[in-house]
Amino acid sequence: MMDFFAEHGSNLMYKTWEHFYISLAAMLLGVIVAVPLGVALARIPKFADRIISLVGILQTIPSLAILAFFIPIIGIGKIPAIIALFVYSLLPILRNTYIGVRDVDQGVIEAGKGMGMSHWQAIAKMELPLSIPVIMAGIRLSTVYLIGWAALAAFIGGGGLGDFIFDGLNLYKPSLILAGTIPATILAVIADRSLALLESSLTPEGMKDTQNAT
């Protein structure tokens, strides 16, 4: 074990950072695109099912096929890996945002507007806070998936812990496979717990009391 860290320790730290960076960048892009889109779809439910189904179809495409698709367009490296993972991040976040905002009690929204809130204030101060638990569930699910899928970035020169995994498979070295899978698993657990804490801090106090009571 000590010999392994002496030989690969610095590279392991770098690859872990690369893996985290790729996953985080894709997840943030997914949040930036999917949350506003989900809020918008809650206002046009007639088209919501079609758009969510279209995004769902994209997720049925094998991840390696999406990675390969972007190579002729933007080459190899981290950027195509991040874009491919971004595509995979969309569905859980979009679907949960749509459901969360759609299911907010309209009586509460009307009461807020009756108090003088504008359309955007109602979204920022009422709809999003009240749907935070549902939205964060989608973000947490998406993040855990992305950390696992980020290993495939190694196929197109994106780096990350997938380099260790595929080197281990090619060289028949279990130690290299474990060096890739164990840190990725730890990253997924840390990310999930961190997002759970963020969810707790963003959830309105009244909703926390209701959740604890149930």
The pLDDT-based confidence of 5 (bands split at 50, 70, 90) is low
* CB distance 25 to 80 below 8 Å: no
Share of the chain above pLDDT 90, in %: 36
Question: Over the stretch 75-88, which tens digit does the pLDDT of each residue have?
Answer: 888 888 899 899 88
**Shortest CA distance to 162 belongs to which of 75, 74, 64?**
64
Question: Over the stretch 184-193, which tens digit does the pLDDT of each residue have?
Answer: 999 999 999 9
The full set of domains in the chain, from first to last, is 2-213 (1.10.3720.10)
Question: Over the stretch 132-178, which tens digit does the pLDDT of each residue have?
Answer: 999 999 999 999 999 988 988 888 888 889 999 988 888 888 888 89
Neighbouring CB atoms inside 10 A of 73's CB total 8
Amino acid 4: pLDDT: 61
> Is the per-residue pLDDT at 214 higher than 50?
no
Show the beta-strand stretches assigned E in the chain: none
pTM: 0.86
* Three-state secondary structure call for residue 185: helix
